[in-house]
Structure 1
Amino acid sequence: MTPSNPETGRVLLVDDEAAFQRLGGGFLRSLGHEVDIAGDGEAALARFAAQRPELVLLDLAMPPHMDPERGLELIPRLAGVPVIVLTGHGEHELALRAAELGAWDFITKPIDPDLLRFVVARALRKSRLEAELLRLRAEQGADDLGLVGQTPPMQQLRAMVRRVAPTRVSVLVLGPTGTGKELVARALHEGSPRRDGPFVVVHCGALSAELLESELFGHMKGSFTGAYRDQPGLVEAAHGGTLFLDEVGEMPPAMQVKLLRFLQEGTFVPVGGRVQKTAEARVVAATHRDLEAMVRDGAFREDLYYRLKGVVLRTPALAERMADVPLLAARFLQRGAPQARFSAGALAWVTARDWPGNVRELKAIVESAGALLLPEQHEVDTELLRLAAGDSSEAPRSIEPAASTGVLDAALNELERRLIQDAMSAAGGNQSEAARQLGVSRVGLIKKLTRLGLR
């Protein structure tokens, strides 16, 4: 239960020193906080999962070897609540690294009680204001981060985005081409305290090293032919917001060095300039490439890789979430042709088709089919979809149903069928376990199995 005082809350204190656990915990309790204590990283994660504190006080020196790197590794895993780092004198570099990983603030030991009281109260107030804002946005009908889908991979992805978005940690989004990595980056931006700042996209593979440097860091007048005036770069434009590095695996080696310097120091020099500039932006990078393999092959800098991968999110291929296809298709059709619907055969066609181009391919074909509708037409059929796909072959492995249904009913039936089949498969045919996974009663599941012809 959250304390009624707006400046008190549930605090997890992570410190291996018994004396500090007793004194610091006692001081926080005297202020009205509920205090839970952990002496090492493993215990901290267990208490975090069990109690879900509103704030974490974290000493970076973690047992067994009192290695601060172990404390740093904990910070991204405590995402979603403010983390206040406790450091010793002379650990300024550690504190900066902690901030890059998402720490909200840091306090130097020995700790001033008045400073501790002030920082903890301020962090709790800020955290609760952000939570209230998110609640109000949700009540106003926000589009669930823009990430459409009800399959387990998409539910897991949305949960991770919600957990990571409020932090300052850098994020690396991995996944096949066309799976919506930029949508994930935008969702991270919209769910963060930077949502009112700029969201700037950099396409790292589209330009040579020289042009990419100018695009990122800007250039000075006269620095090269055609540079008729000073031009700020995208890094500067992203100040206070989010910088999205799309296809970062394609970045030329010469630019990797310069990007690393900016990530480490927050500084850069425009092309042709001599004066160092600063900018502060959260970095989200994405690629379809295997960066770990590129690091092993020497094609991508190892130090840059570890700077970018504060938290790794993976976007699933459409083949991993086929039950979402009807919902996605209906969404894309409604955007371009609000009054249109799919025939039952057309819906069967999209759910049976392989989608090597993933969501991007599905979106392109459905939108093209909607655009091909004549003014008097309101139904997209299989022939129209095959025309949009440039596919003259027979419709794949589906039988055209005798009767058409509305797109919503057909999409929901197909989604329900696939989700139940997946749950039954995962439960080894055990109806009670499948019902638990689906959040329905066993009797309710049996009725659905009968209605869908799955018994």
Structure 2
Amino acid sequence: MDNSTPETGRVLLVDDEAAFQRLGGNFLRSLGHEVNVAGDGDAAMAAFAQQRPELVLLDLAMPPHMDPEHGLELIPRLAGVPVIVLTGHGEHDLALRAVELGAWDFITKPIDPDLLRFVVARALRKSRLEAELVRLRSSQGSDELGLIGQTPPMQQLRVMVRRVAPTRVSVLVLGPTGTGKELVARALHEGSPRRDGPFVVVHCGALSAELLESELFGHMKGSFTGAYRDQPGLVEAAHGGTLFLDEVGEMPPPMQVKLLRFLQEGSFVPVGGRTQRQADARVLAATHRDLEAMVRDGSFREDLYYRLKGVVLRTPALAERMADVPLLAARFLKGVAPQARFSAGALAWITSREWPGNVRELKAIVESAGALMLPDQQEVDTELLHLSAGDSLDPRRSPEPAPGTGVLDAALNELERRLIQDAMMAAGGNQSEAARQLGVSRVGLIKKLTRLGLR
């Protein structure tokens, strides 16, 4: 049972100075915190995996070379926990870099005890409020698991995520680029018993086989040029949580063998090491590639494929769920301009575009348009959307339609058409079932099909 108050919690103090470890640790303990100390990056990661602190105080000057870059490298690996960096006088730029990498705050040495007490208590309070918000959203489904949309493909996807998330089964998420495969993986993590553990993402297509092996499993000092210290890998960082292998179809063949061994045995050997290490992480994978075809042509191992595909979830292309486009666009716009809305012409433009880049492209253009709005502007118009899409200089671009020209009606008709098409497809052409999904009578659906030329 956690007996800590909102102002106290588990703190990891990372500093190479023994005197500061003793004085700082004793001061924090006097405030009621449970404190672990570490003198370098490797010890810090080991303590982080074992204790799972609620807050990390990190001195950026890490042994053996006392180079602040070593401390900066740790920040992304401490994901999910507030990190307060400790810097010296004149290191303001270094502190700002730390914040850009994900640090929550920074304190300059010598440290004022009252400031330390205040910052630590505030960070713990904020962290717990955010964790409680995630828990409530997960239990109530208030944010649709982060998977926005009301079309049948998205409803079915959310049902499957809720069903699979609490289990230990591996999941393979398939779908075109830009359809939200990482969102699905995060929803699976948040709905699982591992939600309080780390969620670690590995981009399998971004590195060579050698670098990917070091990134995943870590390396020992001297194992290759530049390996001047032991370095834990992302598999170890995911212990107790979830390891997400993004674009696993891009993984080089030599790494496929090593990944398979980890999936089978739960153990691995760092590059240059001789002893096996253990890590308990649920593995989720995603790709836009056709893995079955890759298995047939020999570019992807069949045994690895079957290890990964415990359950297969598919993220639909935006073309398969066009009726969700206005809802998605409105949500993205609210994130950057809460009081803004789309003009009739802008809505027509959004709903008529094909969106080959899927949700990622829609999000980028809408958020860019919202950011480009003038201070006194209330609407996103086609001018802003064209600017965001990069075609503002196209002389063929049509101007914003004037009110009363029927553009809104046309846009609504197009939305209705696509919603009905989605329902008919999901119902296998059964009009009664499609009518039930849409909440209309069968006769009403037939009239709409006739009016829209869909019969």
TM-score tier by shorter-chain length is 0.5 to 0.7
For the 8 Å contact 2:242–2:282, the answer to whether it is kept is yes
Please tell me the residue identity of whatever aligns with 1:379: E
Matched residue of 1:321: which SS? helix
For the 8 Å contact 1:198–1:238, the answer to whether it is kept is yes
Which residue of structure 2 lines up, in the alignment, with residue 321 of structure 1? 321
Distance 2:428 2:269 in 1: 60
Aligned ranges 1:22-101 → 2 under 5 Å: none
Please tell me the residue identity of whatever aligns with 1:367: E
Distance 2:362 2:149 in 1: 14
Aligned ranges 1:372-387 → 2 under 5 Å: 372-387=372-387
CA distance 1:433–1:304, change in 2 (3 Å): closer
Matched residue of 2:194: which SS? coil
Which residue of structure 2 lines up, in the alignment, with residue 194 of structure 1? 194
How many Å apart are 1:454 and its aligned residue? Answer: 10
Which residue of structure 2 lines up, in the alignment, with residue 344 of structure 1? 344
Deviations along 1:1-58, one digit per CA (max 9) or x if unpaired, are xxxxxxxxxxxxxxxxxxxxxxxxxxxxxxxxxxxxxxxxxxxxxxxxxxxxxxxxxx
For the 8 Å contact 1:326–1:411, the answer to whether it is kept is no
For the 8 Å contact 1:256–1:304, the answer to whether it is kept is yes
Matched residue of 2:271: which SS? coil
Which residue of structure 2 lines up, in the alignment, with residue 100 of structure 1? none
2:391 matches 1:400: no
Normalising by structure 2, what TM-score? Answer: 0.63
Query: Structure 1 residues 440-449 or 314-323, which shifts more?
Result: 440-449
Distance 1:369 1:404 in 2: 24
CA distance 1:372–1:243, change in 2 (3 Å): same
How many Å apart are 1:441 and its aligned residue? Answer: 4.6
For the 8 Å contact 2:216–2:235, the answer to whether it is kept is yes
CA distance 1:160–1:383, change in 2 (3 Å): same
CA distance 1:263–1:410, change in 2 (3 Å): farther
Q: Among the aligned pairs, what percent are the same residue?
A: 87
How many Å apart are 1:412 and its aligned residue? Answer: 8.2
Please tell me the residue identity of whatever aligns with 2:403: A
Matched residue of 2:200: which SS? strand
CA distance 1:393–1:272, change in 2 (3 Å): farther
Normalising by structure 1, what TM-score? Answer: 0.63
Please tell me the residue identity of whatever aligns with 1:364: A
CA distance 1:401–1:426, change in 2 (3 Å): farther
Deviations along 1:312-336, one digit per CA (max 9) or x if unpaired, are 1111111111111111111111101
Query: Structure 1 residues 217-226 or 385-394, which shifts more?
Result: 385-394
Distance 2:424 2:213 in 1: 53
Aligned ranges 1:248-263 → 2 under 5 Å: 248-263=248-263
CA distance 1:421–1:207, change in 2 (3 Å): closer
How many Å apart are 1:420 and its aligned residue? Answer: 3.6
Which residue of structure 2 lines up, in the alignment, with residue 216 of structure 1? 216
For the 8 Å contact 1:349–1:395, the answer to whether it is kept is no
How many pairs were matched up? 320
Matched residue of 1:356: which SS? coil
Distance 1:401 1:149 in 2: 30
CA distance 1:292–1:322, change in 2 (3 Å): same
How many Å apart are 1:434 and its aligned residue? Answer: 3.9
For the 8 Å contact 1:189–1:195, the answer to whether it is kept is yes
CA distance 1:446–1:393, change in 2 (3 Å): farther
Deviations along 1:282-335, one digit per CA (max 9) or x if unpaired, are 111001111111111111111111111111111111111111111111111110
Distance 1:358 1:290 in 2: 18
Matched residue of 1:370: which SS? helix
How many Å apart are 1:429 and its aligned residue? Answer: 9.2
CA distance 1:164–1:449, change in 2 (3 Å): same
Distance 1:376 1:281 in 2: 50
CA distance 1:245–1:424, change in 2 (3 Å): closer
Distance 2:294 2:425 in 1: 37
How many Å apart are 1:393 and its aligned residue? Answer: 6.3
Q: Runs of 5+ in structure 2 lacking a partner?
A: 1-132
Deviations along 1:351-395, one digit per CA (max 9) or x if unpaired, are 101111111111111111111111121211011101110122656
How many Å apart are 1:415 and its aligned residue? Answer: 4.7
How many Å apart are 1:275 and its aligned residue? Answer: 1.3
How many Å apart are 1:445 and its aligned residue? Answer: 6.2
Q: Runs of 5+ in structure 1 lacking a partner?
A: 1-132
2:158 matches 1:158: yes
How many Å apart are 1:240 and its aligned residue? Answer: 1.0
Query: Structure 1 residues 215-224 or 201-210, which shifts more?
Result: 215-224
How many Å apart are 1:201 and its aligned residue? Answer: 0.1
How many Å apart are 1:414 and its aligned residue? Answer: 6.3
The CA RMSD over aligned residues, in Å, is: 3.4
Query: Structure 1 residues 222-231 or 347-356, which shifts more?
Result: 222-231
CA distance 1:247–1:393, change in 2 (3 Å): farther
Distance 2:238 2:175 in 1: 24
For the 8 Å contact 2:198–2:239, the answer to whether it is kept is yes
Which residue of structure 1 lines up, in the alignment, with residue 109 of structure 2? none
Which residue of structure 2 lines up, in the alignment, with residue 183 of structure 1? 183
CA distance 1:263–1:430, change in 2 (3 Å): closer
Aligned ranges 1:413-432 → 2 under 5 Å: 415-416=415-416, 418-420=418-420, 422-423=422-423
Deviations along 1:229-288, one digit per CA (max 9) or x if unpaired, are 211100001111110000001111111110000000000011111111000111110011
CA distance 1:245–1:430, change in 2 (3 Å): closer
Aligned ranges 1:197-276 → 2 under 5 Å: 197-276=197-276
Please tell me the residue identity of whatever aligns with 2:401: E
For the 8 Å contact 2:172–2:286, the answer to whether it is kept is yes
Which residue of structure 2 lines up, in the alignment, with residue 435 of structure 1? 435
Deviations along 1:397-445, one digit per CA (max 9) or x if unpaired, are x99362599x9x9998865553245446877998755432323456876
Distance 2:145 2:269 in 1: 35
